[in-house]
Structure 1
């Protein structure tokens, strides 16, 4: 599909869970997603066990995609203890794998991090007690800082945040309440209040809710493929998101709006 002169389009999906038996099964899906968009964004759990074999299958399935591909890893990509192998295999295939970094596609900045769990709001786990609890909370803080560092690098008027874990409770609703603390963390929302974005995408919660909002009203989309398949059986299982393409001469105005929104969000928080 040719580029639109007025919008930049992103096809976004997470939780593909590629196994060694996925070879040949996803090319059509990826090609369909890429055909509708200017870029393909992947929100983690790209593989099922995080093995080199699965990563190679995924890289091969993505070979038909001719638009830029940007990804973050998920918890499943860490299962075999070699997430760097998954990331490196995808990078060799031309995928931009973000882990506290940012990139830019057609004037839209993308900040990416895996994120972590720990709970939401008053249910957030605090760094108190046994060392292992403190380590757990430190990991959540570390991932939030990665997201913040990535967001701080962006200088574009339009911005997207890419995560695996949820930054708000709203998009995990539908999952058993008992496991909410393991599906995301409010700590991931804090950088999004300091550095406003146009949209946030995550996966992980297969039985969650498709859409929610941060405290300051930014849309958050749960793009876990199993959720999209179940909730929208009549549509292809990816989320198509459009942003206005920046026209020459409008950047300063949008930047001013973003700055004021940032100040308002910070004051709100």
Structure 2
């Protein structure tokens, strides 16, 4: 029960990797606010952990929506201890055919959304003099993938934003770290592995020879939010099966 008594906000927490992280946090004793535009699979969590799960409709790219989310978490559960800024989107397309609206949506969700969530959570945590913030990047932040310019650029920016936030917020008792998953069998990764030709071309780059499980990424998120990582700050934790 490494997160017993902790209150965590997880954006994008109603499906895919976010849902796996929420499940792991609940298993470790946390109370969890799952924020997303749609409830998706939240009913399963509410049934398994009655009274410890709150769903909050949220658009992370909207300032007021994010402010309302953090205020609701603090009011409902009486505190805000952990943020996992997981909400993200990908609009694939090579640069010459990538539309401006698609670029802007990716930046708004992945980068601006991370900024807004970190800022508003930090305001609550600063009042208590303690907190944990976990941003979510991707292995594509530092590796070239054709057609992923918008996604890769925003994730690279998230990593530098995390380092800066760690330097600013560390003195206030708030640890800020980044979780960088590789190929995972949930969300965008599931679509990636669905194409045998594409997956076969990338599988050889993994020293473990397989796609990661969502639970393995969730375990890393628990570590960054839990007591074992008290002296970890400004770190990008890659969980990618030895991706070359």
Q: Provide the TM-score with structure 2 as the length reference.
A: 0.45
Greater helix proportion:
2
